[in-house]
Chains A and B, each alone.
Chain A
Amino acid sequence: MVTSFVHCSRGLRRSCSIRGAKMPSSYFSELRSAVQNGIRKSAAGCDGGVQSSVEVLVGQGKLWSGNLRCFHSVPSSAVSGLNVLLRPGTVFHSRSDSQLGLKRDYCSGVSPGYGLGIRNSRNCSNFSRGFLGKSRSFSSSGEGESIQYDVVIVGAGPAGLSAAIRLKQMCRGKDSDLSVCVVEKGAEVGAHILSGNVFEPRALDELIPQWKNEEAPINVPVSSDKFWFLTKDRAFSLPCPFDNKGNYVISLSQLVRWLGKKAEELGVEIYPGFAASEVLYDDDTVVGIKTNDMGISKDGTKKETFQQGVALKDFLDKVTREEVMMPDSSSTLQKSEITGRITLLAEGCRGSLSEKLLRKFNLREKGHGQHQTYALGIKEVWEIEEHKHKPGSVIHTLGWPLDNKTYGGSFLYHMNDRQVSLGFVVALNYGNPYLNPYEEFQKLKHHPAIKCLLDGGSVLQYGARTLNEGGFQSIPFPVFPGGAIIGCSAGFLNVPKIKGTHTAMKSGMLAAEAAFSALQEGSSMDMYWDALRKSWIWEELRLARNYRPAFEYGLLPGLGVSAFEHYVFKGRLPFTLKHGKPDHEATDVAKRHPPIEYPRPDGTLSFDVPTSLHRSNTNHDHDQPPHLRLRDPTVPERVNLPEYAGPESRYCPARVYEYVPDEEGKLKLHINAQNCLHCKACDIKDPKQNIEWTVPEGGGGPGYSIM
């Protein structure tokens, strides 16, 4: 087995973690688990039939774990090697015997950090050189590998990629370098991106002013803007409240792909297919994220393809090179500064890690205080007949098929190549638990005004995703110790405009600027919050804050207030309306509502869920633990089914949740996690908040390309 270290010299980074006298509280648990893991591995391994032994002789310094001569057998297929914890500054020499290769590898050097990973490496001599120079380091802390970057960004969406691009642009401007890594759970960049989308290029003009000459997939300007109120058979034109002059009809998935290419050209490392599943802490500071373990089967045991997750960490601190070289002068080792360690979370609406951090650091209370409200958007891209296609045509509808108490509507945007984006958005604070947003969408397509457009066409792709509707009132304090939350994970969507891409991109850029000065000059990430408040995002969202909450009182009052806001007050009302109940609490009990009978799909305009799901190209490896966790497994049958008639079996646009009768005829919840579109509706809408959406193995999920 040959594994060699890659050494790339970059900029100012060191790989040394030296602390003062106080040991971090997590150290001993790390130590304990490293020792345990090391021993556990040698017992469980040996399936490859290769036994290697490593002797570590320690000179100066102390060996904290293992004996002075320790032998571990390492399975040949193990990714991580022997892990020995050494105190920083320990001089060591190790020898490894590989029985098969009959080689002796020697490694010596100075251990810089607490973790030391020794691999069966033929190029062991490089190992020591790398630690003392400027390089990226691979270190193991007993539980897996960890790779260090200056900035780790979770999510390759508009916000994440804008932040990455901005960081690299600033590096070029100041002639320095930062290592930036973007992890993305989708199989490729853009695979999990779904949006209307009528794009306002304001943020892109600031980020990449020359986008027009760089083949950006933005080439359909808005040509017409219509606003209809639908009843069952008619469509009434209303005065259009939107002003889309200068905007473009695009596929956001395509734009994000293009942004990804631009980011890679600037030197950003993007890794699709890796899901960030855990936040790594050091005391109470976020130091990075850990990717999912891959290759675990449904019952939790490790398959033969098991690979442990990788920790992506920020550099813990910077120490000058001279201080590292002299391990015996311990006084210089104490001189270390903990400078910026930045993790940016750009997971999109209701991001799983972002929600954890929002709760942990009480960021909602520290921000504008209100909870976030959401809507579920279901979208199809159609290819329609040539003569019906008008590139740039934008239509929004309100009214039918939703009733007066449910906020929502549809959109129809004409892209190019005869393609049309058709979507339906339902606010998730609806009361009737029998409402099925997917079926309402299918109903909508039969409306005469929509049907005439779609007749003769065919569906290319299908997908669904939740979006923020909380606006200004729900913005949390987006900075936490060690990083910040950007994009829709924080929530900057402008609800009356129905646009969130430009604000997400701008928030990414502002966070990048704050991160850059934090890393270079040691300023605080709170600068991001200040920058947000001074930017156009703030003004835009503040002016738009009273539209959506007005609909709490019903459709007509909402329309009335919106009209007033738009034409008269323009956001200058002195008060701010509050949101109603959180979405999950707004679900009413089933006995107060009649069940809704939905018509059967006809196969040309409307479809059943499995057919639509097939068009989303969604897939997950079936043999993995279900990523949708029930906090209390009895709640579905005890509460959801009797009281709310099992709403999850109705609002999920992928038919993940089904109540099927078991052998005794009792209905039991069955979770088809493989269908999941990663929309997060269940995490939001479950009445008792019992369903927790966690991230599945990276690379799974939908495969959007033109959404």
Chain B
Amino acid sequence: MKIMVAIKRVVDYAVKIRVKPDKSGVETQNVKMSMNPFCEIALEEALRIKESGLASEVVAVSMGPPQCVDTIRTGLAMGADRGIHVEYPDALYPLSVAKLLKALVEVEKPGLLILGKQAIDDDCNQTGQMLAGLLRWPQGTFASKVIMDKEKQAATVDREVDGGIETLSLDLPAVITTDLRLNQPRYATLPNIMKAKSKVVKKYTPQDLNVEIKADLEVVQVTEPPKRKVGVVLSSVDELIDKLKNEARVI
């Protein structure tokens, strides 16, 4: 069985981001980029499934500008066997990504798709769900535990939901999106990074996959959250009520 993992190149989580002066987005020039943490967890899960013998191959897919290949190489260094890069210079929104992944699924025919639950740059939390809808495959999102069953060709997924943990059984092929507590991703060791250089990364463009990219979302403005105002020490309850009524307008 082949596992396909979608990984995204995002601004590194430790970087202090700032908004561009023209408010069109976040400054990404000269800023450290790395693999989305949830995608790392997804890849780690795929690698563990492969190491337990239930999968034959792990394919890492990324979409975006040419620098995405670096992220794929990190994935290959962690242990993925092959990489696929869909080259597209502009921003890709979740629906487009889902359509491209669907086209790749028709080429690669994996038995399992593992994605991160969301990307830390847009926090959309949509791609996995849209992809499952387009493919008409079962989905197990916010997975905190995945147990594969080879004979039944099913996966038992523990989902972290608001009320607690929900356990689902999904028939393969299926889409799983990973949550934080699923596993601890491994380090890419130096020898593995060297070996990854010789692994294959295949390039596609959206035209190759017959997918038309329509920008169905437009970012109008990005602003920083309002700065916290200094706290004020009040002298009486009347003053408090007055402020709540007239300034904060909550009563």
A599 to B153, CA, bound (A): 67
- Which of A1, A269, A307 touches B51 (beta carbons < 8 Å)? A1
Contact A614 B186 (CB under 8 A): no
- B191 x A138 contact (CB < 8 A): yes
| Interface residue SS majority, chain B | loop
Cβ of B150 under 8 Å from chain A: no
A245 CA / B129 CA spacing, docked (Å):
60
Say whether B30 faces chain A, with CB atoms less than 8 Å apart: yes
Q: Would you call A147 and B191 a contact (CB within 8 A)?
A: yes
Cβ of A187: which chain B residues have Cβ within 8 Å of it? Answer: 12, 32, 34
- How far is it, in angstroms, between the C-alpha of A658 and the C-alpha of B207 when the chains are bound? 59
Is B190 engaged at the interface, CB distance under 8 Å to the other chain?
yes
Known: A101-B53, A617-B32. A79 touches B189 (CB 8 A): yes
A77 sits at the interface (CB 8 A):
yes
A307 touches B16 (CB 8 A): no
Q: Is the CB of B51 within 8 A of A48?
A: yes
Task: Kindly state the separation between the CA atoms of A429 and B198 in the bound complex, as whole angstroms.
Answer: 51
- Interchain CB contact under 8 A, A619 and B14: yes
Nearest CB in chain A: distance from B167 CB, A: 23
Asked whether, in the complex, the Cβ of B191 is within 8 Å of the Cβ of A305, the reply is no
- The answer, yes or no, to whether A254 is at the interface (CB within 8 Å) is yes
- B186: chain A residues at CB < 8 Å are 305, 307
B27 to chain A: closest residue by CB: A460
Instruction: Enumerate chain B residues within 8 angstroms of A460, measured Cβ to Cβ.
Output: 18
Which partner residue on chain A sits nearest B198 by CB separation?
A6
169-199 of chain B: CB within 8 A of chain A? 184-191, 193-195, 197-198
- Chain A residues, Cβ within 8 Å of B34: 187
In the bound complex, CA of A4 to CA of B193 (Å): 13
User: Is there an interface contact between B51 and A76, defined as CB atoms closer than 8 Å?
Assistant: yes
| B31 CB–A CB distance under 8 Å | yes
> How many whole Å from A44's CB to the nearest CB in chain B?
18
- What is the number of residues of chain A that contact chain B, defined by CB distance less than 8 Å? 39
Name the residue of chain B whose CB is nearest to the CB of A101.
B53
Is A310 a contact partner of B189 (Cβ separation < 8 A)? yes
Against A, the Cβ 8 Å flags (1 = close, 0 = not) of B5-40 are 000000010111010000000000011101000000
Least CB distance, A386 to chain B, in whole angstroms:
10
B230 CB → nearest A CB, Å: 9
Q: Pick the most buried of B12, B185, B187: most chain A CB atoms within 10 A of its CB.
A: B187
A393 and B197 alpha carbons, distance in the complex (Å): 44
Q: Mark A100-142, 1 if CB is under 8 A from B, else 0.
A: 1100000000000000000000000000000000000010000
- A92 interface residue, CB < 8 Å from B? no
Contact A307 B187 (CB under 8 A): yes
Known: A77-B51, A188-B32, A703-B32. Contact between A305 and B12, CB under 8 A?
no
B70 closest partner in A (C-beta):
A188
Within 8 A of B (CB), among A441-459: none
Which of B12, B31, B53, B194 contacts A147, CB < 8 Å? B194
Additional A-B contact list (10), CB under 8 Å, known A101-B53, A295-B187, A305-B186: A4-B195, A48-B51, A187-B12, A274-B190, A305-B185, A310-B191, A617-B16, A619-B14, A703-B15, A705-B30
Q: Which B residues have a C-beta under 8 Å from some C-beta of A?
A: 12, 14-16, 18, 30-32, 34, 51-53, 184-191, 193-195, 197-198
Q: Report 19 cross-chain contacts, Cβ distance below 8 Å, ordered by A residue.
A: A6-B195, A48-B52, A49-B52, A79-B189, A145-B191, A147-B190, A273-B188, A274-B190, A295-B187, A304-B184, A305-B186, A307-B187, A310-B191, A312-B190, A460-B18, A615-B16, A703-B12, A705-B31, A706-B30
